[in-house]
């Protein structure tokens, strides 16, 4: 197969479009896709400060790299979740990436700042803290961005992530979540920062190819606490379908965003504006106390109980 750009031998195949690119031309194609989504969805402008949610994995580092190569003012933020060696390795990858390129990386140490770590949020029924971990990330990425004056938070969610989320929400008819799914989540409160997903039309394989060609050093393994998560099962099902029907994931997600979400309540992203500020932390919430503060209380109790047990 020949490179679609230079006609030389190709290295990376884009099966859904029946095209391929060589290692020299592929990064430019990848960044063009990112720029097109930024422009089409009006995600942010070049004069705005962007905070990239960084995990040390290929997607977040590829996004941060692409944005800086495209000339955007993008800083990173990493949350020390306290998941043993995995967190230590992902932190090291994130710090090395920023240091090598002279970029700013903000960090939050969950245990030090909040008195608990993600393992303290373990759901005894499912054995996984994934939902709670998501709440932790959304809360701190938003809070740090708002406190430091960033206008946009960019995450590395790719096509596989978004298609799996959509599949799960359709499977369970989570109408509220379906109505809010999209590449842009607008700000509806002065303390809520705009959230965007510039990689939402690029597959995990395509992002990995970019990271490898650009020699980005990222953590390879999945979070050990996500083993058995439903999202991984959904990805597996969609990957099997993709193998038989190239472009199935892309058509599923893009078709929903173009046609399906407007038929779902909240699908036009008219979010409720009757938000108040949490009486404890001041972050936007619909109740008196936000979900994060309630969850943090449980995490601190679990952490204190563990400490007391080991002290005996």
pLDDT in tens, 74-107: 999 999 999 999 999 999 999 999 999 999 999 9
- 27-311 CATH: 3.40.50.620
pLDDT value for 177 = 87
pLDDT value for 284 = 93
pLDDT value for 267 = 61
pLDDT value for 242 = 96
Task: Locate 265 and state its tokens.
Answer: 């309540």
Lowest mean per-residue pLDDT among 100-114, 201-215, 274-288 = 274-288
pLDDT value for 305 = 86
pLDDT value for 270 = 47
Q: 14 in helix, strand or coil?
A: strand
- Rounded to an integer, what distance in angstroms lies between the CA atom of residue 135 and that of residue 130? 9
- pLDDT for 273 beyond 70: no
- Rounded to an integer, what distance in angstroms lies between the CA atom of residue 62 and that of residue 209? 10
Distances (CA, A) of 40 to 14, 45, 192: 21, 12, 22
Distances (CA, A) of 108 to 6, 80, 81, 276: 44, 6, 9, 25
Which parts of 172-277 fold into alpha helices (H)?
Answer: 175-180, 204-213, 230-244, 248-255
Q: Are 211 and 93 in contact (CB under 8 A)?
A: no
pLDDT band (50, 70, 90) for residue 227 = confident
- pLDDT for 310 beyond 90: no
pLDDT value for 184 = 96
Total number of residues shown for the chain = 312
pLDDT value for 129 = 79
Torsion angle defined by CA atoms of residues 312, 80, 215 and 199, in that order, rounded to the nearest 10 degrees: 130
pLDDT value for 205 = 96
Give 269's DSSP letter: -
- Rounded to an integer, what distance in angstroms lies between the CA atom of residue 74 and that of residue 262? 32
Average pLDDT score over residue span 266-276: 64
Q: Are 191 and 284 in contact (CB under 8 A)?
A: yes
The mean predicted confidence, pLDDT, of the chain is 92
Average pLDDT score over residue span 49-64: 97
- pLDDT for 114 beyond 50: yes
Q: How far is CA 101 from the centre of its chain?
A: 22
Its pTM surpasses 0.95: no
Q: 67 in helix, strand or coil?
A: helix
Of 255, 269, 264, 240, residue with least CA distance to 201: 255
pLDDT band (50, 70, 90) for residue 161 = very high
């Amino acid at each position: 197969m020949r490179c679609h750009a230079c006609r030389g031998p190709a290295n990376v195949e884009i099966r859904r479009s029946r095209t391929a690119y060589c290692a020299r031309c592929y990064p430019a194609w990848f960044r063009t896709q990112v720029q097109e989504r930024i422009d089409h969805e009006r995600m942010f402008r070049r004069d705005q400060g962007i905070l990239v949610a960084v995990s040390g994995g290929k997607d977040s580092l590829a996004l941060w790299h692409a944005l800086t190569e495209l000339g955007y003012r993008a800083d990173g933020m990493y949350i020390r979740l306290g998941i043993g060696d995995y967190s230590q390795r992902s932190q090291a990858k994130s710090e090395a990436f920023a240091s090598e390129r002279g970029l700013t990386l903000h960090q939050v140490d969950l245990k030090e700042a909040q008195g608990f770590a993600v393992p303290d949020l373990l759901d005894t029924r499912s054995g996984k803290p994934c939902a709670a971990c998501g709440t932790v990330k959304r809360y701190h990425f938003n809070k740090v961005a708002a406190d430091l004056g960033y206008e946009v938070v960019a995450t590395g969610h790719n096509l596989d992530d978004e298609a799996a989320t959509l599949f799960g929400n359709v499977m369970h008819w989570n109408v509220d979540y379906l109505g809010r799914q999209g590449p842009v989540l607008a700000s509806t409160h002065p303390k809520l920062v705009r959230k965007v997903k510039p990689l939402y039309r690029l597959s995990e394989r395509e992002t990995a190819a970019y990271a490898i060609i650009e020699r980005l050093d990222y953590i390879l393994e999945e979070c050990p606490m996500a083993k058995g998560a439903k999202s991984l099962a959904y990805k597996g099902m969609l990957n099997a379908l993709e193998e038989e029907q190239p472009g199935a994931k892309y058509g599923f997600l893009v078709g929903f965003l173009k046609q399906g979400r407007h038929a779902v309540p909240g699908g036009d992203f008219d979010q409720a504006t009757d938000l108040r500020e949490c009486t404890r932390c001041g972050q936007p919430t619909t109740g008196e106390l936000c979900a994060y503060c309630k969850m943090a209380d449980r995490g601190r109790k679990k952490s204190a109980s563990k400490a007391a047990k080991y002290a005996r």
